[in-house]
Structure 1
Amino acid sequence: MTSERLTGVPASPGRAAGVVVRMPARVPEPRTSRLTGDAEAAVRAVEEAAAQVEADLADRAGRASGTAADVLAVTAAMAADPTLAAGAARRVREDRLTPERAVWDAAGSVASQLESLGPPMSERARDVRDVRDRIVAALTGAAPPGVPDPGHPFVLVASDLAPADTAMLDPAVVVAVVTARGGPTSHMAILARALGIPAVVALPGAADLVDGEEVVVDGTVGSVLRSPSAEDVEHARDRVVAATFDGHAATRDGVAVDLVANVADPAEARAAAAAGARGVGLFRTEFCFLGRGEEPGIDEQVAAYRAVLSQFPGQRVVVRTLDAGADKPLRFLTPDHEDNPALGVRGLRTAVAHPDVLDRQLDAIARAAAAETAEVWVMAPMVATVDEARDFAAACEAHGLHQPGVMIETPAAALQARHVLAEVAFASLGTNDLTQYTMAADRDLAGVAALSTPWQPAVLELVRVACEGGAVHGAPVGVCGEAAADPLLAPVLVGLGVASLSMTPRALAEVADTLARVTRDECTELARLVLDRPTAEAARDAVRTRLLP
């Protein structure tokens, strides 16, 4: 049988061969029928079902770690959101709808409101519908949404995956993920990379893949091969990098490259240390704050930060201050409503109205740093101006934190890097948001998934400009966005002047393996090659031709 290659958008690197298992159909829409019994009993049934779903998701969050735990905690909080329960209760009492129909309609109203806000809040509409399906399943006794369990390893194929499902994927069973929708920097893609599962998103023809057929998935280049030959399958297995990472990475001619880890909580810090990471390029501190109605106390923050710092004695840990807002709202810090929260009060901007929250966090970071031996650097998210960088550096200095830095996530910060980096000691490129803002493309929207890639020449040009700006002051510029975990893109980033690459620990070995096969001059040549290409696809193809057999 002749093989057929489908091409989508690469989302998580790696190759895998396996049989297709499709995601089961979602919970069916309940019929519109009227309540015949006690309305208050029906309201209580809704409340109990929502509480059951919240408890299940919270339990999953407790058993997960890092980004997966954060995603599950946010979804659990959504199940407990009184807006959904109140909307369902009103429909039961006033319209005499059955509990399941009332929940369905109430969730539809909430999801529509979120979609009207635009990205990134529109992304939460999918999560609302996932919670809706779980509550309806609890009310009707139907099977709840979830990843199938056929009893053998498989390639999971779906229209899209809710974060709550992706967070619980077992990489020993789900060898690859293919979706018809989504983008390369969506929560699903980020979680797949953290789990080391190859993934392709926005794949035309995904709906045609059938249960039981064998495919080869290449998440590095974004392809799915149908009816592969035995040689194709064997080649896919041979490309798996089995080597472990010993903490050191260098080009073929011996130029060292600093590979470090992204971590989101103490459990991920332990996993990163066990994977050979010799430091942390991005410590996300949101785990202390998410899912809470009030700010954690300083002592609680100190204990949490020390649990991460203690895993890296004598090594650099870059702590990012609270990145609230947009898709991570906090009731005590961010506005209740913004028409376009992706362009609103988020990251460092929350300190304008709440400088005390930043002050207390910097105090906690300083205390944790004093109690441990890790070399602590601190950076602020969502910086756009020189004034913001200068003010943040002064706030850090006031707390005895002498290595302040900024996230470069906006084109403004990249273009002004030579001025911004005159005020701080270092910068780290957050390529997920930098790509989103540069290309004006929602990272979760399948319709613009081809735009949502750091291979875009415009994005890579901004990386180059930012690195040149840092070089003026001898300030290192790293990458802590998901682009750092792409083994094809890593040598390009090094060639553009990036000083360090911070990634999910599972990607360290493969990125180190790729860098060991090229010289420093070849990295520079690859960088020139991609900047000279007019499109992201042409840039990726040019590097793939050079690096892959």
Structure 2
Amino acid sequence: MGDPASGTTPETLRGLGISPGRAAGRVYRMAAPPLLPPPTPVTDPAAETARALRGLEQAARELARRAEGAADPAARDILEAEAAIAEDPMLAESVERRVASGLDAAHAIDAACADHRAALLVAGGYFAERASDLDDIRNRAVAAVLGLPMPGIPAPGHPFILVAEDLAPADTVNLDPDTVLALVTEKGGPTSHTAILARALGLPAVVACPGAAGIPDGTWAAVDGGTGEIVTGIGEAEAGEIQRQARAERERIGRTSGPGRTADGHPVKLLLNIGSAADAEAGVDAEGVGLFRTEFLYLDRRTPPTHEEQVAAYAEVLRAFPAGAPVVFRTLDAGTDKPLPFLGLAEEVNPALGVRGLRVARLRPEVLDAQLDAIAEAARETGTTPWVMAPMVTTPAEAADFARRARARGLSRVGAMIEVPAAALHADRLLDRLDFLSIGTNDLSQYTFAADRQHGDLADLLDPWQPALLRMVELCAEAGRAAGRPVGVCGEAAADPLLATVLVGLGVTSLSMSARSVPAVRDALARHTLAECRRNAELALDAPDPEAARAAVRAAG
């Protein structure tokens, strides 16, 4: 209906909704990155090099400081990784070469970061996911060199909707959900840092929204993180009513508790995705762990963690949950697309399609064996029965070999991640050798649609509502039902309350997500019978595209 006082007419922008919920308020945009002044002649290369390196050091210290102050473990992990990039000797050497060629400190940092960013994008996979980090490092280091304030979040003095071309982890790590009502970016995808942190903070968010960064500061707008719609030009009274309704909905959902189940009592385990025991403590209302990302123990190390370090970390997570609760350890998900220096793997032309996940065991089997040994000892120490699964399993033979290794160490609950279409197509054969499957919708989308997870221009192909992706999920669930074995989803799709009803309708038996996502998913399931979930699944599978699938399921109620 617009704002009568300003005479504005509502306009709708559409992006990809990646964190459900509604919010309304005034829009304020992230400040533009520091502009480079005209180049200046370098009369003292040594002094100029020192000035440039101090800029990188200051950026790294600021990122490390923000990491230490981050309450959310996911945000902390991301910031620590970004600080490590800022401290990378290769980046420093690149800056030194630029100064030696005649560039001043600010321009040397800008050129070095641009080159490294381009190399990461070409590498694809995990490397491409770090490309936006170089933008943030560049902006902070250049600001330090020029004596400008570090980039940061606007502070209008009242709650607002934060809009940006893109958001770096350091921008979002200390966001106050009571001040920032929603996040909207022009770039990004369903697995971008913005998406991960928005879900962790429980903020409505829309990414890949063309034109969003052009919304003038102070504009009243409404954001729907489920549909991906941003309506600008609404009135203040309308915004207030939307906020009132959203607040009431959050309070209602917050009062839910207990195990996951549909309205007619069909059980669906609601589990956590975690990287440490601290993450587990934040999810006391969940029923266990559906994905423990063990690679966080290995990041930024030149040597692998010791046996004792691994046992202590695994045992701490096992003790955080009651006996009998599932705690699923994913073995090391690393390789040339998630580089770990101690592995000593060669660079590859196409890392995402190379030696990663379980495939690392082809070259370094002792790393997998050591990890399984540590999980088995942690199980003995705690008197529990952990579940273990391998990432990037592709063939029944790989599944059988992993199961043999795990069971030889007394690990009795052995499964696999379904991230590769070949594994989904032969899910029944994998379950001849395994006890459970867990579907990683992020990578399964990437490989099914041949679209890089971090490619903003292809975000629509990575939409978890894609009917072809849901068909892959259905194949796995049918195989699980036939074998009498559980099949869960631990990708970001599991955190979407509306999509959760579809996944359960397809036959999924558990959903794993961030702690903040659990109440809304629990509530959505409690308001639908199993028959209604199956109806929603049929509607989504029959739809021609993700938008139509969402609309059909939403209309069905």
Give the one of 278, 283, 294 matched to 1:285.
294
Give the one of 155, 161, 184 matched to 2:167.
161
Give the letter aligned to residue 218 of structure 1. Answer: D
Separation in 2, partners of 1:327, 1:509: 33
Equivalent position of 1:28 in the other structure = 35
- Contact 2:385 2:413 (C-alpha < 8 Å) held by counterparts: no
Give the one of 49, 65, 71 matched to 1:59.
65
Q: After superposition, where does 1:11-410 map in structure 2 within 5 Å?
A: 11-36=18-43, 38-64=44-70, 65-93=72-100, 95-229=101-235, 230-231=237-238, 233-239=240-246, 240-242=249-251, 243-273=254-284, 276-314=285-323, 315-325=325-335, 327-333=337-343, 335-410=345-420
Give the letter aligned to residue 33 of structure 2. Answer: R
List per-residue Cα deviations over 1:231-283 (Å, max 9, x = no partner).
4642454243222442322211122221111111121111011xx11211111
Query: Secondary structure of the equivalent of 2:341?
Result: coil
Question: Which structure 1 residue ranges, 5 or more long, are not aligned?
Answer: none
Counterparts in 2 of 1:308 and 1:152: CA distance versus 1, 3 Å: farther
When the two structures are superposed, what TM-score results if normalisation uses the length of structure 2? 0.94
Separation in 2, partners of 1:397, 1:119: 31
- Contact 1:249 1:516 (C-alpha < 8 Å) held by counterparts: yes
Query: Secondary structure of the equivalent of 1:129?
Result: helix
- Contact 2:185 2:212 (C-alpha < 8 Å) held by counterparts: yes
Equivalent position of 2:482 in the other structure = 472
Q: What is the count of residue pairs matched by the alignment?
A: 543
Judge which range, 228-237 or 411-420, deviates more. 228-237
* Residue 422 (str. 1) matches residue 432 (str. 2): yes
- Displacement of 1:327 after TM fit? 4.8
- Contact 1:12 1:219 (C-alpha < 8 Å) held by counterparts: yes
Judge which range, 158-167 or 79-88, deviates more. 158-167
Separation in 1, partners of 2:42, 2:241: 58
Give the letter aligned to residue 410 of structure 1. Answer: V
- Contact 1:310 1:372 (C-alpha < 8 Å) held by counterparts: yes
Q: After superposition, where does 1:435-474 map in structure 2 within 5 Å?
A: 435-474=445-484
When the two structures are superposed, what TM-score results if normalisation uses the length of structure 1? 0.95
What RMSD in Å do the two structures reach over aligned CA positions? 1.7
List per-residue Cα deviations over 1:189-225 (Å, max 9, x = no partner).
1221111111001112213311111211110111112
Identity %: 52
Separation in 2, partners of 1:336, 1:161: 32
- Contact 1:31 1:101 (C-alpha < 8 Å) held by counterparts: no
Separation in 2, partners of 1:364, 1:171: 39
- Contact 2:261 2:522 (C-alpha < 8 Å) held by counterparts: yes
List per-residue Cα deviations over 1:508-534 (Å, max 9, x = no partner).
111111111111111111111111111
Query: Secondary structure of the equivalent of 2:120?
Result: helix
- Displacement of 1:328 after TM fit? 2.5
- Contact 2:336 2:347 (C-alpha < 8 Å) held by counterparts: no
Equivalent position of 1:9 in the other structure = 16
Query: Secondary structure of the equivalent of 2:35?
Result: coil
List per-residue Cα deviations over 1:128-183 (Å, max 9, x = no partner).
22212211111111122222233322111001112332333332222110011111
- Displacement of 1:402 after TM fit? 0.7
